A and B are shown apart, each in its own frame.
Chain A
Amino acid sequence: MIPFEYVRATDVADAVAAGGAPGAAYLAAGTNLLDLMKGGVSRPTRLVDITRLPGLAAVERRDDGSVRIGALVRNSDLAHDPAFARTYPAVAEALLSGASAQLRNAATAAGNVMQRTRCPYFTDTGSACNKREPGSGCDARGGETRLHAVLGWSEACIATHPSDFCVPLVALDAVVEIAGPAGTRSVPLDAFHRLPGDAPERETVLEPGELVTVLVLPPEAARFSGHSRYLKVRDRTSYAFAVVSAAASLRLDGGRIAEARLALGGVALKPWRAREAEAVLAGRAPDEAAFRAAADAALAGARPSGDNAFKIELARRLVVRAFQRAAAGTPERLPALPGSAFAPASEAAHV
């Protein structure tokens, strides 16, 4: 870790002023940032501590039915907020399927959105990585690519975004509120993370000094509480990043799908909203044929970036299963193993 200047911000204006300097980075819990700093991947020369900013650690429900998640709300506090978990069960399940209890107790909502890829070539400073060092090349190409992207990747970068939390959020049309030197603005989460293209070093739409302050779920996001699931296939059932994950939500009306939402995780450099699949499901009966058609639509544009063609079929099957579970209804209590595709016998699906 290289030396840095430590600045403790007292309010958002103070933070933004300090955070706009070249080499500055914002520090909340630091669970991802410190790890990257220890490895020499991130090398900020100034850390602006935002943990004391007032008003950003609360979950606020508005009369219009929207909910505002402060940037500093801890992952575990949000997942265990009973009213939040009841209304947005897939978000709670996604949060609890990620990391460990210790990390969830520290990590913040905005930090989760801002976390960096876990591509091993990004974190290994001995490897070429266009994201870490623009123009240096990509050693992931032709390397160990089992877990890399199958959607939206480019020749310059085949990494994935590791967040679970962002997957149901993007399905529910979450909006990111941003404070910056030029004032505040809002960006849909779907447009917040950038696909790599030829500039994978630009990971989000944030400009220098801009700070995520709030994540907003619009009123419509509450309509799916009865039929929402997050499923996540990983190499071990706990404390592992997704190989592939799916957030599936349904609004049913008279035995038909009035509205469907679908997003995929672990497949692209952003949480991947699958609007084509949602369109396929509108008006159909919630049966396996419909879910298969939706899965085909969601993965229609997928192509392997290496030895990972299996992820495309895996994602299709997971989409079907996530929608089947969502159609069966949100469980009364979150499962013991959140997000597990391998349910206990009582709700076992045919494999």
Chain B
Amino acid sequence: MSVDIVLTVNGTRRTIPIPDPRTTLLDLLREGLHLTGAKKGCDRGQCGACTVLVDGRRINSCLALAVSLDGAEVLTIEGLAEGDHLHPVQEAFIAHDGFQCGFCTPGQIMSAVGLIREAQAGNDPERVREAMSGNLCRCGAYAGITEAVLEAQGAMSQHTIRDSATRQGEAA
């Protein structure tokens, strides 16, 4: 029995038929919506390559049933940049060589975006490493990844300070 669900994927709200309730969010994204940025690494919640944001929180999309997420907002790596303007986390991964083969990178970047939103790590590299432990990188780009997360977080908080200063200026 097919069930229709509504998902907002990268800002676009859409009704999606789910013919088989066994479909994970990851399989729906990759096979149904042709958003192949989220990767199927282990498919068992161990590697983090499938990380996406659901309602603003990073999760393993391989361990979520799509039919259960009816009504959710999903953000994938494809929805991160604004046109040709890369997200600060994407820019920082390039600047700090936060990858080699690139397979884990969409998951690493989405996890980093989630980490920065959670605002628990501060600028402590140890806390960043701990908070990124759900994303494995077999090339071993961890040092660059940690630097990239810290730099992007700093850049984003500068943006926030600048944005709020601009707003205050406009208000005055």
A positions within 8 Å CB-CB of B:
1, 3-6, 8, 27, 29-31, 34-35, 38-39, 47, 49, 51, 76, 80, 99-103, 105-106, 238-239, 336-338
CB–CB B63/A101 < 8 A:
no
The verdict on A101 contacting B118 (CB below 8 Å), with A3-B22, A6-B67, A31-B60 known, is: yes
CB of B124 closer than 8 Å to a CB of A: yes
Most central of A39, A102, A238 by chain B CB within 10 Å = A102
A39 contact set on B, CB distance < 8 A: 44
CA gap between A28 and B133 in the complex, in Å: 24
The verdict on A101 contacting B65 (CB below 8 Å), with A6-B21, A34-B24, A47-B21 known, is: no
> Quick one: CB contact mask for B47-75 with A, threshold 8 Å, 1 for yes?
01001000001111001110110100000
CB–CB A29/B64 < 8 A:
yes
B positions within 8 Å CB-CB of A:
3, 20-22, 24, 43-45, 48, 51, 57-60, 63-65, 67-68, 70, 111, 114-115, 118, 120, 124, 126-127, 129-135
The verdict on A239 contacting B126 (CB below 8 Å), with A4-B22, A101-B115, A102-B51 known, is: no
CA gap between A115 and B60 in the complex, in Å: 17
CB of A125, distance to nearest CB on chain B (Å): 14
B68 contact set on A, CB distance < 8 A: 8, 27, 30, 49, 51
CB–CB A30/B58 < 8 A:
no
CB of B165, distance to nearest CB on chain A (Å): 28
12 chain-A/chain-B pairs, Cβ below 8 angstroms:
A1-B22, A3-B22, A4-B21, A6-B3, A6-B21, A35-B45, A47-B21, A51-B68, A102-B114, A103-B60, A105-B114, A239-B134
| B59 closest partner in A (C-beta) | A106
B59 contact set on A, CB distance < 8 A: 102-103, 105-106
| B129 closest partner in A (C-beta) | A238
Most central of A27, A34, A35 by chain B CB within 10 Å = A34
